[in-house]
Amino acid sequence: MAENVQSIEGVQAEALSALDNIESSEALTTWRSQYLGNKGVIRGMLSKIGSLAKEERGAYGQGVNALKNKLTESHDEKQTALNNAAVEKDIAEGAIDVTLPGRARRVGRLHPSTHTLRNFYDIWSDMGFQVYRSRDVELDDYNFTKLNFPPDHPARDMQDTFYTTEKDVILRTHTSPGQIRAMEELGGNGTKPIRVILPGMCYRFEQITPRSEAQFHQVEGLAIGRNIRMSDLKGTIAEFAKRMFKPDVQVRYRASYFPFTEPSMEVDAECFLCDGEGCRVCKYSGWLEIAGSGMVHPNVLRNGGYDPSEWSGFAFGMGPERITMLKHGIEDIRYFWSNDLRFLSQF
Ligand SMILES: [Zn+2]
């Protein structure tokens, strides 16, 4: 055997006897790097295999590997023994009181908006709507122009929109641009029907007050097909309200205006807190506004690749935070993103 190669038996005897004398975890760490570390004895032995005669190499290599396993095992045993000894010492000295009851682990909860969103997904998927996720960062064109916003529409005001340093790239102010994206991606150039909901975060450059936040969720809905009528929209929303609030809830529709639907309607549900009797939450009207909706504007259908003389559709939009606030009597929307556990742990 070459002279500069250490004998396996010699190293093992020396290492194990050193290990026997160790009484602290610091010394064990030093021992570990001395024998098993990157620059340790075992590595050194393996690196010298090349200096052996060819017929000796195999047996020596195997021997070193067996030694490495043996030392690793002995190290782990020693570590366990040291840990146990430390705990026993602590108990003996009274540093650990094993009779103390355990501390309960804090269990996380779902955010109240997530609760409401999941509730929405359950209801809409039961009714045949798929979830379509559109982008948060949008082109001005999709957020406004393709949705039939006239060039001078107040929603285009710099005051309301978060612009980026990139020209025409903005944070979406509503989930409606997803309508165009869904038509483009799922519509097969205006040949296929669509039934989707589009949930997502929206962003507005607004003063943050108890009533308005700079970010909030919307859930948009879109159905496109042949012969889709206003009655389909009304029936669909009424069915949603029944499943969301209560089976005999009354729903009413009020004429409204949105650039991307014609005609447009606001949807109110009978106040589920006072059964329509009138209370503080419904401002004594007996009704709560739950959605905006309407028939998809022919220009929007065209922009999504559909021929409005053959295809029609309806769309609606809802605010999960608003509905959560109504349901739980939450009076300040700022609670939703302020990460206050006193608020969040109630849900
Ligand atoms: Zn009420």
DSSP assignments along 90-126, one per residue: HHHHTSS-TTSPPPPPPPP---HHHHHHHHHHHHHHH
User: Would you say residue 155 has pLDDT above 80?
Assistant: no
- Measure 270 CA to ligand 1 centroid, in angstroms: 8
- Measure 181 CA to ligand 1 centroid, in angstroms: 38
* Residues near ion ligand 1 (Cβ under 5 Å): 271, 273-274, 279, 282
- Measure 57 CA to ligand 1 centroid, in angstroms: 88
What is the pLDDT averaged over residues 160-164?
Answer: 90
In tens, the pLDDT along 298-311 reads 999 999 999 999 99
The pLDDT-based confidence of 4 (bands split at 50, 70, 90) is: low
- Measure 272 CA to ligand 1 centroid, in angstroms: 7
- Measure 331 CA to ligand 1 centroid, in angstroms: 14
Q: So what's the pLDDT on residue 160?
A: 86
- Measure 347 CA to ligand 1 centroid, in angstroms: 22
- Measure 326 CA to ligand 1 centroid, in angstroms: 9
Structurally, at CATH architecture level, domain 112-344 sits in: 2-Layer Sandwich (3.30)
- Measure 265 CA to ligand 1 centroid, in angstroms: 21
User: Would you say residue 16 has pLDDT above 90?
Assistant: yes
| Rg of the chain (C-alpha set) | 34
- Measure 196 CA to ligand 1 centroid, in angstroms: 31
- Measure 286 CA to ligand 1 centroid, in angstroms: 5
Helix axes 230-244, 112-126, angle to 10 degrees: 130
The pLDDT-based confidence of 95 (bands split at 50, 70, 90) is: confident
Q: So what's the pLDDT on residue 159?
A: 64
Question: 156 or 278: whose pLDDT is higher?
Answer: 278
Q: What is the pTM of this model?
A: 0.69
d(CA 65, CA 266): 76
Q: So what's the pLDDT on residue 3?
A: 55
Let me know: does 292 contact 263? Beta carbons within 8 Å: no
What is the pLDDT averaged over residues 89-102?
Answer: 87
- Measure 106 CA to ligand 1 centroid, in angstroms: 36
Let me know: does 183 contact 194? Beta carbons within 8 Å: yes
Give 209-239 as a DSSP string.
-SS--SEEEEEEEEEEETT--HHHHHHHHHH
- Provide the percentage of residues in the chain whose pLDDT is more than 90: 69
The pLDDT-based confidence of 327 (bands split at 50, 70, 90) is: confident
- Measure 16 CA to ligand 1 centroid, in angstroms: 80
- Measure 337 CA to ligand 1 centroid, in angstroms: 26
- Measure 322 CA to ligand 1 centroid, in angstroms: 15
User: Would you say residue 235 has pLDDT above 90?
Assistant: yes
What is the pLDDT averaged over residues 75-97?
Answer: 90
Q: How far apart are the first and last CA of the chain?
A: 74
Q: So what's the pLDDT on residue 158?
A: 63
The average confidence (pLDDT) of the chain is 92
- Measure 324 CA to ligand 1 centroid, in angstroms: 15
- Measure 242 CA to ligand 1 centroid, in angstroms: 17
- Measure 325 CA to ligand 1 centroid, in angstroms: 13
- Measure 245 CA to ligand 1 centroid, in angstroms: 13
- Measure 249 CA to ligand 1 centroid, in angstroms: 13
User: Would you say residue 1 has pLDDT above 60?
Assistant: no
- Measure 234 CA to ligand 1 centroid, in angstroms: 22
Q: So what's the pLDDT on residue 166?
A: 93
User: Would you say residue 2 has pLDDT above 60?
Assistant: no
d(CA 344, CA 114): 11
In tens, the pLDDT along 174-202 reads 999 999 999 999 999 999 999 999 999 99
Let me know: does 172 contact 139? Beta carbons within 8 Å: no
- Measure 288 CA to ligand 1 centroid, in angstroms: 8
In tens, the pLDDT along 255-291 reads 999 999 999 999 999 998 888 899 888 889 999 999 9
